[in-house]
Amino acid sequence: MKLTKKRGILYLIADCRSGLAPIEEALAAGVDYLQLREKNLSSAEYLRNAKAVKALCLNYRTPLIINDRIDIALLCGADGVHLGQTDVPVSDARRLLGESRIIGATAKTPEQAQRAQQKGADYLGSGAFFTTSTKPDAAPLPEPVYLEILRSVSIPDLAIGGITPENCSLPLSLGADGLAVSAGILKADNIADAVRAFRRKLEKA
């Protein structure tokens, strides 16, 4: 499966620390893609969670992306992987995964973005746009740099980092093709309402 949507993308990044219920609520509300990002778990635990989340994603026809772990993605039947700058190179991941699966890459500079596209990435994630509890040490991405990233590639780029319904208009106004969100959905008072709020902003962009 390749990216079926190129603009207005709502991409959820989740883990299973709070169980499956919040993830299912977000899937039911209508996110476009789900990335499972587990840290500090054994491979067995990660795979167990990935299989459970994959079953949910099948129910809601939502593509599942696995963060970092190509082996977990293959074993659980995920639709793709997302790779950071210190993970397996995109070109090697493409050889392992074939042409049909989705590969995303983190890009914080135009050079990283161009390299990822040349090596076979299907989309990029760029940030952090705002202060984020998920990666508190992430340096903010200057707006001029983000504009250069967008100009340097033709594949979709998702803004990431502290994205909420209240602040997402900024990256969208700069030209982001979508939003990669974690706490802005999963820690909202009402997950479905948060998804709908993001949808409204994406539709206006």
Q: What is the pLDDT of residue 4?
A: 76
pLDDT in tens, 167-176: 999 999 999 9
pLDDT in tens, 6-55: 899 999 999 999 999 999 999 999 999 999 999 999 999 999 999 999 99
- Domains of the chain, CATH where assigned: 9-204 (3.20.20.70)
pLDDT in tens, 116-133: 999 999 999 999 999 877
pLDDT in tens, 36-50: 999 999 999 999 999
Query: C-alpha 93: how far from its chain's center?
Result: 17
Contact, 113 vs 157, CB < 8 A?
A: yes
Name the token pair of 49: 């969670």
Query: Where are the alpha helices (H) located in the chain, listed in sequence order?
Result: 21-29, 43-60, 70-76, 90-97, 110-119, 143-152, 169-174, 183-186, 191-204
Contact, 78 vs 65, CB < 8 A?
A: yes
Q: What is the pLDDT of residue 1?
A: 66
- Give this prediction's pTM: 0.95
Which residues have C-beta within 8 Å of that of residue 108, sequence separation ≥ 6?
85, 126, 127, 141, 145
d(CA 187, CA 92): 35
Q: What is the pLDDT of residue 15?
A: 98
